[in-house]
Structure 1
Amino acid sequence: MMKTFALLAALLSIAPLSQAACTKPPLGDATLYLRGTINNWAAPDEQAFEYRCDAYYLNLKAQGAHEFKLADEDWTPALTFGGDAKGNPARGAGGNLKRQFSGEHTLRLAIAADGAAALDIGPQTFKPTPPEPLTDRAALTTRFDSRNAGSKSPFGAQPKGQAFTFQIGNDVPGLLRATLVIERRRMTGNQEQLAYEPLARIAMKPAPRGLGTGFSASYRFDEVGVFGYWFEIETVQGRYALQNNKDAVYWTREKGAMGPGTVERLPSNLNRVRRYRQTIYAPDFKVPDWAKDVVYYYVFPERFRNGDTANDPRPGGGRPQDRYQDRDVERHATWNEKPFKPNTGDGSDALFNNDFFGGDLQGLTTKLDYIKGLGANALYLTPVFRAPSNHKYDAADYKQIDPAFGTNADFERLCTEAAKRGIRVIPDTSLNHVGADSPYFNRFNNFPAGGAFDGGRINPASPYASWFKFKPEEKEADKQYQGWAGVADLPEIDKSSPSFRAYAYRDNDSVTNYWLDRGAAGWRMDVAPWVPDDFWREWRQAVKARKPDALTVAETWFDASKYFLGDMFDSTMNYIFRNAVLDYAAGQSGQQMAANLELLREAYPPQAFHALMNLLSTHDQPRALHHFGEDRDLALAKQRLRLAVFFQMTYPGAPTIYYGDEVGLGGGDDPYNRAPYPWADQGGRPDEALLADFKRLTQLRHDLPVLRRGTLTAPLHVDDHVVVLARQHGKTWALTATNNSSVAKTVSIRLSFAATALKDVLGGEVIAVTNGAIELTVPPLFGRVLVGP
């Protein structure tokens, strides 16, 4: 008997144990995931632990150092294991676990009766339990496709009051009943709280379909919101969920990119169902019309151009810009040095974000002709208001330009000069947190008494006291208030404070109005998911009342559908686009890119979809060239960048050029993604050939309204390498084709419109249409644009 059990244990890849040693899962039916830098802190199925006898097991393939926690999908505190002071897993610990990986591993998490946890990582030995096969033919052949008019009509996001028809079915006998399940999504915060509340269960009407059965139902959405729907089907063998697919969506907790559905056994816990999503927006939701024509130039001002050396931060200077909190700033000796990163041996001090090069608003103003020549017509600036850091998200005065950047008059002059060139200016700020070194908080006593935390002591008499939530019972100063994301330098604001809301947007001279009155064309709002929805609803009303054509842009990284209902934002920083396009241009499958982008086409209202801030590089992520392997093959990386920019300039939304990308500026994680622009007169070496290619592609977009305003249809062709899309604007159609292979690819394309010939607008070639189709050869690592009829 013991020999038999030892054999069984070996097959299960666990140490031989007595039968009594196997225990029930200490976390009940909860599922734990490895969530960290390896997967953007998401909870993908492939990183889900399986409980087996005595512990939780996960096979993981990874390379290099990674930080992570072990947690459920909801980040439930009792089900989250972080790193304690010694780096070991502990329930509720705030730190991250840090481990080095080198290939294929098995992770084993054991939880003792007293709750103590131990994590072992070794060679891969665990054999996961294979899923139970599904053999019910009637269930497996039942079809639904949210993008097919025969399954669902109308397509995509729709205004309130719209009725939909849903149809499912198969061509084999055995499908007995079907129910359309409608739910409302409740989603707050940064995806941590996600749930669906039941709205309706509608018995679908059967109708013969060959040897099988079709089912149909209708539903009218009479409220604004994001809704979920799926189908419960029943055969003679059981009940099943016809639901969304398993496609991963970048940065987004919910799985499934919509389109063709999948069938699985009906789970006992309906939270496991993957819902299709349906966005229902306000009928009066309007986005400024000019947003469709925007090409952004995205600038980190401290690193773009030094136009006035007199305002440069300098150690020992005695001015506000010369001090960082309670010590001197660091000053770079030359413009083209690498940014400092503490603890790397570069000679810098131990503080982050306190090194300066001298970029300012005067520098931006002097380079407006350059920005216009590049083809940009909107200037997005990371914060320029007074703050001690180089990034300025630690606001010290929302109504003053930082003295290192210039004056309020310099901002007005920038907006005026930009407007003369057809360029709009959109500033950025955070209404979620301020700086500890600010008159609002005043932790370092650098301002007159009156801050809410003067000199590290709670000041109830401060006019800003209601802006923050304090814990006076705590003894340590850092624990007496909440720093955003645990960062003590960024005291988090209580956004429910009437005093703060008045200052932020309700007062006639509020922060929001103050800069709109001085030339801002809109606002980009930092960390939008950490601010309550009702705050943004009021804020939007204030913005539009002051300047009806102002554009509002949220910083969200995941599926932002809930912000596009007509009551919060017009646009978002489109990180889903960024990751999808970068991975495709780096050689990953076109099908993966298309799935993510098609989700956005289906989920977002068209007016928001055409205004999305379509990024490739940002100040929060490694630059595109780094993603493409600049350190391995710079020439190849630049060609992949050209491909990504080609796709960016021919896709709906607002192409966004992060300063320096256009001349080959690279760099990995912060701070290296914030390097100075390599101006030639400062010793830099800008890639003029790459710059010319950027200009050619922005000009292409400006020359063809169909590329800016054209409606996007379903892809005409998608494979691992080639993606062919169709756009329509009036009577004009455009086909855009891209190829991420290192060799040319030829594909046959059946057109979705009538034409006898199409013209290649880059090469001039005329391609004949034969029987409604064309043969199209797409060059390696680039693309083509064909226009007709």
Structure 2
Amino acid sequence: MFKTIALLAALVTLAPSAHSASCKPAPLGDATLYLRGGLNNWSAQDEQAFQYRCNAYYLNLAAKGTQEFKLADEDWTASLTFGGDAKGNPARGATGNLKREFKGQHTLRLAIAADGSATLAVGPKTFKPTPPKPLSDKAALTTRFNSRSTEFKAPFGAQPAGSEVRFSIGNDVPGLKQATLVIERRQMTGNQEQLAYEPVARVAMTPEPHGLGTGFTARHRFDATGIYGYWFEIETDQGKYALQNNKDPIYWTREKGSMGPSTVERLPSNVNRVRRYRQTIHAPGFEVPTWAQDVVYYYVFPERFRNGDKANDPRPGGGRPQDRYQDRDVERHAQWNEKPFKPDTGDGSDALYNNDFFGGDLAGIIDKLDYIKSVGANALYLTPVFRAPSNHKYDAADYKNIDPAFGTNEDFTRLCAEAAKRGIRVIPDTSLNHVGADSPYFNRYGNFPAGGAFDNGRPNPASPYYGWFKFKPGEKDPNKQYQGWVGVSDLPEIDKNNASFRAYAYRDKDSVTNLWLERGAAGWRMDVAPWVPDDFWREWRTAVKTKKPDALTVAETWFDSSKYFLGDMFDSTMNYIFRNAVLDYAAGKSGKLMAANLELMREAYPPQAFSALMNLLSTHDQPRALHHFGEDRNLTEAKQRLRLATFFQMTYPGSPTIYYGDEVGLGGGDDPYNRAPYPWADEGGQPDEALLADFKRLTQLRHDLPVLRHGRLSEPLHVDENVVVLARQDGKTWALTATNNSTSAKTVKVPLPFRADQLRDALSGDAVSVKDGWIQLTVPPLFGRVLITP
């Protein structure tokens, strides 16, 4: 009885009444609120936009399990962002996340009182949204543009400064009266917090015949480097419209639209709502090290890869630097193949994160270089190895020395030398955005000689490092007396504009940047790049290239990274768009979703950067691929889906990246379980040798076929829910790659963009016939095929 009354109450609470006398104007005005959380990569998606009705904001949401989120507008405007307060209720300015349980279809109701307080109710789905008014103007609806077709835009893709680009639109029915090409310059800072467009030009387009309708053409010369937005304002007898980018969501990226075919909507009163196409204009001399496109990375979290020297293992009560974590002892795992500790899970660990150790080190990596080579890798990416108290080492305590639990500076030099003998380059990682609270630079816990900026928990203006940080002297709580990165007090954020820090980081002859290049590094991966000012990276890149011209610079960015590829900052990035697109496809989602995300990068990124992207499947910051594929539900199928994802990774442009252990079936969900030890057999692990053999076969395929490394990628030949067929050209050599995410074989017929009588299957060696320029191709379940010209 009680449950029935409660359900009726929820229905009454959540169901809006359009005729209620209590209806009031929207308290947030014209602003649109979105649910932004883990289920949509914290982006503002139309599918999760609230609609105001009468006296509250409503959203229908399909979700399962515990979800964390905030409610905010597109710009994360402070006055329009509702986080979770101490009791888990929505409140403006609250830094916590809202957390709710979902079991399928629900209606969310956000009510905002006159005093600004808010309440959020979640109940059964009851809300009926007001559908948008449909367009009926045929002249507007039939007007077309396609950024990837030379009929509408030439030349294709990113271009050097000074390039002139032709833009054309057209339709096949009368009624299009005039058209204007709108060019704007994008301004984006930080982690997409500030995103705006400023006007550059409005170009009246010239009419020309186009079938039964009218076409329009305009040209614009892009003289300065930058990321530009463009769209078309068109006019018919029935009004004005925006011919613009589509609504495709791009993983991790705030801006919607994958480019390609256009969409049309009524011209909004606020043009900020227009979805721009994007045009990358890079420096004419932008060069990326040519070796990057031939790379297969092996990506190692050193503490969990291999213990080669047990003498340096962190041990509680040992009295050495590696035996302490801030102001207490470390935790030590008794067995190599234990699960990483996670507080509050009942595993017997303490309440601290990232202070448990297994003993992995540089000696262990050196011992396994032959293994890394045998997997097919020719580059080694290491998460930080410099002195730091945590197991992840992003809380730097000494940028210029190897952590004693990992070995010595000489061990790093030896690692680089031994790797080079095997044709393997070494890329280290660090953060120039923040250090550890337990470091000589900050010295919060007094573990170092006096002289830190926050010695023993007190600001020290006499410290040579004091100017590196931003202090808040009015605060009484030591955790709030300085700026921690994203509010984390263990990671004091550096003022990157400080001249002393810039000298230490890259300007000095013995700077951090120069020192490790001298010691053998082949380049740098830079942590949390969006939190560091652009002009810092511009100077830093100059320092890197001056010291070692063929050094590779890799940014950690998760979203559309076009702005970093203008020739003045980075060569490459950790490609999280690729990761999410390929994992979701291999897990069974539509090939069209994957193709849209990948095609955006092919169009937006300069080809020299596109061919050098660090194409990931698993990382130390996200659940492993095998977990994504459902290792806990059907391990056999999950491994086959991993094979499919790896096949795609090895046959696509860029630098395939193998996260240690993926190749032998190492799984694991969110941190810390994605950082489990490699399951070495001599440590009691059970590596999957059959899966390893498949990885080796696929890396060898990539090394054997230059077209898979150097070949130019064209627009997909075929994309449907299951099958994606791509074409690559390297000189006179062509390759077709086809993948199928279905559990049954699929047959497709595709036209060839080149002449051939037959092709050869690169894996089986079988001949495949071509008939009248077409090929009928059967793709095996959860795998793929590579066909090459003889």
SS at match of 1:358: coil
The answer to which of 107-116 and 152-161 deviates more is: 107-116
Residue 709, structure 1, aligned to residue 672, structure 2:
no
Structure 2 counterpart of 1:142: 143
Of residues 16, 19, 23 in structure 2, which corresponds to 1:14? 16
Take 2:756 and 2:276, find their aligned partners in 1: how far apart are those partners?
A: 39
Residue 389, structure 1, aligned to residue 390, structure 2:
yes
TM-score (norm 1): 0.98
**Root-mean-square deviation (CA), in Å?**
1.1
1:296-338 deviations in Å (ceiling 9; x for gaps): 0000000000000000000000000000000000000000000
Structure 1 counterpart of 2:548: 547
Q: 1:11: how far off?
A: 14
Q: 1:210: how far off?
A: 2.2
Q: 1:694: how far off?
A: 0.3
Take 1:753 and 1:713, find their aligned partners in 2: how far apart are those partners?
A: 12
Structure 1 counterpart of 2:766: 765
Alignment of 1:390-429 (within 5 A): 390-429=391-430
Quick one: structure 1 residues 471 and 586, their matched pair in 2 at CA, closer, same or farther if it must change by over 3 Å?
A: same
The answer to which of 456-465 and 24-33 deviates more is: 24-33
Take 1:750 and 1:111, find their aligned partners in 2: how far apart are those partners?
A: 57
SS at match of 1:38: helix
SS at match of 2:413: helix
Take 1:705 and 1:409, find their aligned partners in 2: how far apart are those partners?
A: 36
Take 2:87 and 2:423, find their aligned partners in 1: how far apart are those partners?
A: 56
Structure 2 counterpart of 1:456: 457
The answer to which of 38-47 and 518-527 deviates more is: 38-47
Residue 506, structure 1, aligned to residue 507, structure 2:
yes
Structure 2 counterpart of 1:279: 280
SS at match of 1:230: strand
Structure 2 counterpart of 1:5: none
Take 1:758 and 1:160, find their aligned partners in 2: how far apart are those partners?
A: 40
Structure 1 counterpart of 2:734: 733
Q: 1:668: how far off?
A: 0.3
SS at match of 2:169: strand
Alignment of 1:137-216 (within 5 A): 137-216=138-217
1:627-655 deviations in Å (ceiling 9; x for gaps): 00000000000000000000000000000
Residue 321, structure 1, aligned to residue 322, structure 2:
yes
Read off the aligned partner of 1:298 and give its amino acid letter.
Y
Take 2:211 and 2:68, find their aligned partners in 1: how far apart are those partners?
A: 55
Take 2:335 and 2:614, find their aligned partners in 1: how far apart are those partners?
A: 33
Q: 1:566: how far off?
A: 0.1
Structure 2 counterpart of 1:568: 569
Quick one: structure 1 residues 136 and 421, their matched pair in 2 at CA, closer, same or farther if it must change by over 3 Å?
A: same
Structure 2 counterpart of 1:591: 592
Take 1:84 and 1:171, find their aligned partners in 2: how far apart are those partners?
A: 56
Take 2:18 and 2:507, find their aligned partners in 1: how far apart are those partners?
A: 68
Contact 1:12 1:127 in 2 (8 A): no
Take 1:49 and 1:779, find their aligned partners in 2: how far apart are those partners?
A: 43
The answer to which of 651-660 and 715-724 deviates more is: 715-724
Read off the aligned partner of 1:197 and give its amino acid letter.
E
Alignment of 1:670-749 (within 5 A): 670-749=671-750
Alignment of 1:81-100 (within 5 A): 81-100=82-101
Alignment of 1:215-234 (within 5 A): 215-234=216-235
Number of residues of Structure 1 aligned to a counterpart in Structure 2: 780
Q: 1:13: how far off?
A: 3.3
Q: 1:345: how far off?
A: 0.3
Alignment of 1:248-263 (within 5 A): 248-263=249-264
Read off the aligned partner of 2:456 and give its amino acid letter.
G
Q: Which runs of 5+ in 2 are unaligned?
A: 1-10
Structure 2 counterpart of 1:6: none
Structure 2 counterpart of 1:652: 653
1:140-189 deviations in Å (ceiling 9; x for gaps): 00000000000000000010011011110101011111100000000000
TM-score (norm 2): 0.98
Q: 1:15: how far off?
A: 4.8
SS at match of 2:104: strand
SS at match of 1:56: strand
Take 1:82 and 1:558, find their aligned partners in 2: how far apart are those partners?
A: 23
Q: 1:10: how far off?
A: 9.2
SS at match of 1:458: coil
Q: 1:776: how far off?
A: 0.8
SS at match of 2:40: coil
Quick one: structure 1 residues 129 and 15, their matched pair in 2 at CA, closer, same or farther if it must change by over 3 Å?
A: closer
1:649-686 deviations in Å (ceiling 9; x for gaps): 00000000000000000000000000000000000000
Contact 1:221 1:280 in 2 (8 A): yes
Contact 2:427 2:522 in 1 (8 A): yes
Contact 1:664 1:687 in 2 (8 A): yes
The alignment-based identity, stated in percent, is 80
Take 2:390 and 2:574, find their aligned partners in 1: how far apart are those partners?
A: 23
Q: 1:12: how far off?
A: 10
Structure 2 counterpart of 1:440: 441
Take 1:84 and 1:676, find their aligned partners in 2: how far apart are those partners?
A: 37
Take 2:477 and 2:224, find their aligned partners in 1: how far apart are those partners?
A: 48
SS at match of 1:63: strand
Q: Which runs of 4+ in 1 moved over 3 A?
A: 9-13, 15-18
Residue 663, structure 1, aligned to residue 678, structure 2:
no
Take 1:549 and 1:283, find their aligned partners in 2: how far apart are those partners?
A: 18
Q: 1:18: how far off?
A: 4.2
Read off the aligned partner of 1:476 and give its amino acid letter.
D
Structure 1 counterpart of 2:46: 45
Take 2:270 and 2:20, find their aligned partners in 1: how far apart are those partners?
A: 32
Structure 1 counterpart of 2:377: 376
Contact 1:427 1:522 in 2 (8 A): yes
1:206-226 deviations in Å (ceiling 9; x for gaps): 112222101100001000000
Contact 2:506 2:540 in 1 (8 A): yes
Read off the aligned partner of 1:75 and give its amino acid letter.
W
Contact 1:10 1:16 in 2 (8 A): no
Alignment of 1:360-371 (within 5 A): 360-371=361-372
Structure 2 counterpart of 1:120: 121
Read off the aligned partner of 1:690 and give its amino acid letter.
L
Take 2:466 and 2:655, find their aligned partners in 1: how far apart are those partners?
A: 40
Read off the aligned partner of 1:560 and give its amino acid letter.
S
Q: Which runs of 5+ in 1 are unaligned?
A: 1-8
Q: 1:724: how far off?
A: 0.5
Take 2:654 and 2:19, find their aligned partners in 1: how far apart are those partners?
A: 59
Take 1:169 and 1:16, find their aligned partners in 2: how far apart are those partners?
A: 42
Structure 1 counterpart of 2:359: 358
Contact 2:247 2:257 in 1 (8 A): yes
Structure 2 counterpart of 1:641: 642
Contact 2:679 2:687 in 1 (8 A): yes
Structure 2 counterpart of 1:492: 493
